[in-house]
Amino acid sequence: LLNRLKLEGSKTEADDVLGLDTSLVAEALETGLFAKHDVPLSKAKLPVAWTDEYFMPFDYAHFAVVYDSQTIKQVPKSLDDLVNGNPNEKIILEDPRSSTPGLGFLLWMKSVYGDKAADAWKKLKPRILTTTPGWSEAYGLFTKGEAPMVFSYVTSPAYHIEVEKTERYKAAAFKEGHYLQIEVAGAIASSPELPLAQKFLAFMLTPGLACGTPPRQCIIGDALTRRRYFMTDACSSSVE
């Protein structure tokens, strides 16, 4: 998404850009293509303080290793368990060059292992079944049984519970904690409809958008007091 925006530059036909995350906002801001959003920062209900004047968050979730409870033998309880675990129990990862979850995993490894991250990657390599271009490809392979683990989100099992009525897929709780992804949107400064583009960024945080979003996202809005699978009390159903 960001690479396409760079190619289009100020000639882009987009008014708003949705789908970047906090790992990419600094690079996105360097393009000079975004206008300030003019939305009160207090509208953002997040586990962390929000101070960005150019991008507004519309969903968030912590990354996690999701596993198939019917096929895995040893559930990792830490990133170190994953790195040093049984190489016969594989994990599917995403490419950090084309996938924000892939970039999130790369940054998580760097955050935990620091200067020793390269060594950790060498130890992890035998456990990696494949690296896919994006999350959809990785999760599709996982649910087809190609590997007992995939890098995804702590909210992924909630989708299976809500839609498929199964608790087969679970998120492993890591003692180091979990890397937080916040997805954001921004208004294009050159848009002929800039005032409307800015209004849409405010609309993102209302129940109107949250209730219309498929049950795969965590939407953040004024109605929230805590993170939910359907992220507003105004929706007809929710999963804690």
* Contact (CB, 8 A) for 222 and 40: no
| Cα-based angle 194, 2, 231 (whole degrees, multiple of 5) | 70
Residue 63: per-residue pLDDT: 94
pTM: 0.80
Q: How many whole angstroms separate alpha carbon 98 and alpha carbon 111? A: 20
Compute CA distances 138 → 85, 120, 163, 195, 212, whole Å.
20, 21, 19, 38, 25
Residue 221: per-residue pLDDT: 42
Query: What is the block-wise mean pLDDT of the chain (240 residues), using blocks of 10 residues?
Result: 90 92 93 95 88 92 96 96 97 94 95 96 98 96 97 92 93 93 94 95 77 46 31 31
Residue 214: per-residue pLDDT: 47
